[in-house]
């Protein structure tokens, strides 16, 4: 196993370990509400029985009724104490679970920052690209009405889409000119490399499929599987537009950087061929609402406020 493969496997194991521990800690609390309800139900039953006994005692005073009332009222008090204690215990454990979930979230975000730094060190020309594409993708996805679960998968896919480039020769990544056929073939493998890394983690399986498709084209001329139209997950079609736009307005060693207006026109021009027309329409409406301000700059500013297409070898290598 190569050094890179070893690190990928170790990262996958670390994430899955966090997931398993989190699931055990949180799920272990699930039976507690049922137990609390059981004790409260018993209190209610005994309270009813005690009330009936008190009524009987008022009508027919006797040693038996006195003893029954004493036992039932004493039991009611004991059960009330136990149920209250269990309820408080559940509340404390619930708070502990919430804190633990937050701890796991922070661990994920820390891991995310580590991966970002590693990718930027590997390919400093595209530094910050993944974070910007996350913002662009989520904005388009919300405008298209995607559910929160899909936003979650899209966010991780957009963030980790280029992780497979760690297996691409650095000379290819930074070559200041067109790639030859062999180099282009090697570059086209990076969606599969990214997929193979992410698919090892259960919680990233959906994100892995999005990543696998992020260089497919709407007209079926993309790679690596030549999928077309609805065969491509909607999240991947959204991501493709965001990825291409950010690549066009960002410096690259192999081509001239485009202005915001030029990049928007390129995206609009490829609706129905490289990109899904529905996604392009949402992109066009959003960028028009910005009044000429760069979408790239908008998502960068938004990120600062928060805590935390088929590339053509001969002309447009938007990668």
- Do 168 and 236 sit in the same domain of this protein? yes
pLDDT tens digits along 23-41: 444 444 444 455 555 555 5
Q: Is residue 55 part of a domain?
A: yes
Reported for 285-293, long-range contacts at CB under 8 A and 24+ positions apart, including other chains, are 285/143, 286/139, 286/140, 286/143, 287/260, 292/260, 292/261, 293/260
Q: Is residue 310 part of a domain?
A: no
Q: Is residue 244 part of a domain?
A: yes
Q: What's the pLDDT score for residue 274?
A: 97
Mean pLDDT of 169-184: 86
The one-character DSSP state at 311 is -
Q: What's the pLDDT score for residue 31?
A: 46
When pLDDT is cut at 50, 70 and 90, the band that residue 170 belongs to is: confident
Q: What's the pLDDT score for residue 241?
A: 96
Q: Is residue 277 part of a domain?
A: yes
- Do 237 and 152 sit in the same domain of this protein? yes
Distances (CA, A) of 48 to 53, 76, 116, 198: 9, 10, 63, 58
Q: Which of 71, 102, 133 is the last residue of a domain?
A: 102
Residue 153: is its pLDDT beyond 80? yes
Please answer whether residues 311 and 319 qualify as being in contact, where contact means their C-beta atoms are separated by less than 8 angstroms: yes
**Closest residue by Cα to residue 193 from 167, 173, 227, 218:** 167
Q: Is residue 195 part of a domain?
A: yes
Q: What's the pLDDT score for residue 142?
A: 94
Higher pLDDT, 61 or 185: 185
Residue 200: is its pLDDT beyond 90? no
Could you give the CA distance from residue 143 to residue 129 in angstroms, rounded to a whole number? 21
Residue 135 structure tokens: 């913002």
The percent of residues in the chain predicted with pLDDT above 70, rounded, is 51
Higher pLDDT, 236 or 315: 236
Torsion sign over Cα 27, 31, 33, 36: negative
Q: What's the pLDDT score for residue 21?
A: 47
**What's the domain range around 47?**
8-102
- Helices 3-27 and 63-122: crossing angle in degrees, nearest 10, is 160
Mean pLDDT for the chain? 72
**Closest residue by Cα to residue 193 from 11, 8, 12:** 8
Residue 101: is its pLDDT beyond 90? no
Q: What's the pLDDT score for residue 49?
A: 57
Mean pLDDT of 276-295: 88
Q: What's the pLDDT score for residue 12?
A: 52
- Poorest-confidence range of 126-135, 243-252, 282-291, 307-316? 307-316
**For position 165, which CATH number holds?**
1.10.3210.10
The one-character DSSP state at 257 is P
End-to-end C-alpha distance for the chain, whole angstroms: 28
CB within 8 Å of 309: residues ≥ 6 apart:
215, 217, 222, 240, 241, 243, 244, 270, 274, 275, 316, 318
- Do 150 and 249 sit in the same domain of this protein? yes
- Do 87 and 137 sit in the same domain of this protein? no
Residue 261: is its pLDDT beyond 60? yes
- Do 265 and 142 sit in the same domain of this protein? yes
Mean pLDDT of 162-178: 83
Q: Is residue 52 part of a domain?
A: yes
Mean pLDDT of 256-281: 94
Residue 155: is its pLDDT beyond 80? yes
- Do 92 and 157 sit in the same domain of this protein? no
Q: Is residue 115 part of a domain?
A: no
When pLDDT is cut at 50, 70 and 90, the band that residue 284 belongs to is: very high
Could you give the CA distance from residue 58 to residue 55 in angstroms, rounded to a whole number? 5
Q: Is residue 315 part of a domain?
A: no
Residue 275: is its pLDDT beyond 90? yes
When pLDDT is cut at 50, 70 and 90, the band that residue 69 belongs to is: low
- Do 149 and 234 sit in the same domain of this protein? yes
Q: What's the pLDDT score for residue 109?
A: 62
pLDDT tens digits along 107-143: 556 666 666 666 655 555 555 777 788 889 999 999 9
Task: Count up the domains in the chain and report the number.
Answer: 2
């Amino acid at each position: 196993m190569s050094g890179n493969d070893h690190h990928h496997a170790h990262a996958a194991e670390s994430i899955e370990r966090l997931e398993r521990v989190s699931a055990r800690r949180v799920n272990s609390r699930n039976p507690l509400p049922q137990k609390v309800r059981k004790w409260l139900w018993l209190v209610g039953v005994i309270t009813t029985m005690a009330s009936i006994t008190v009524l009987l005692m008022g009508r027919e005073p006797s040693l038996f009724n006195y003893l029954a009332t004493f036992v039932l009222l004493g039991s009611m008090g004991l059960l009330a104490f136990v149920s209250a204690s269990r309820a408080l215990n559940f509340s404390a454990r619930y708070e502990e679970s919430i804190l633990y979930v937050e701890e796991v979230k922070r661990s994920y975000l820390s891991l995310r920052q580590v991966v970002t730094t590693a990718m930027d060190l590997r390919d400093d020309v595209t530094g910050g690209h993944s974070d910007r594409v996350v913002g662009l993708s989520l904005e388009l996805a919300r405008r298209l009405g995607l559910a929160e679960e899909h936003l979650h998968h899209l966010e991780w896919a957009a963030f980790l889409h280029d992780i497979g480039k760690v297996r691409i020769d650095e000379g290819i990544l930074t070559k200041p000119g067109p790639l030859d056929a062999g180099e282009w073939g090697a570059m086209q493998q990076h969606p599969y490399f990214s997929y193979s890394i992410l698919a090892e983690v259960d919680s990233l399986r959906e994100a892995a499929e999005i990543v696998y498709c992020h260089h497919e084209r709407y007209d079926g001329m993309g790679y690596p599987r030549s999928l077309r139209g609805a065969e491509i997950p909607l999240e991947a079609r959204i991501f493709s537009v965001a990825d291409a736009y950010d690549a066009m307005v960002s410096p690259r060693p192999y081509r001239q950087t485009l202005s915001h207006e030029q990049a928007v026109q390129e995206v609009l021009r490829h609706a129905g061929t490289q990109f899904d027309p529905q996604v392009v329409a949402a992109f066009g409406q959003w960028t028009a609402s910005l009044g000429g301000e760069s979408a790239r700059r908008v998502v960068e500013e938004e990120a600062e406020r928060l805590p935390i297409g088929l590339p053509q070898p001969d002309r447009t290598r938007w990668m």
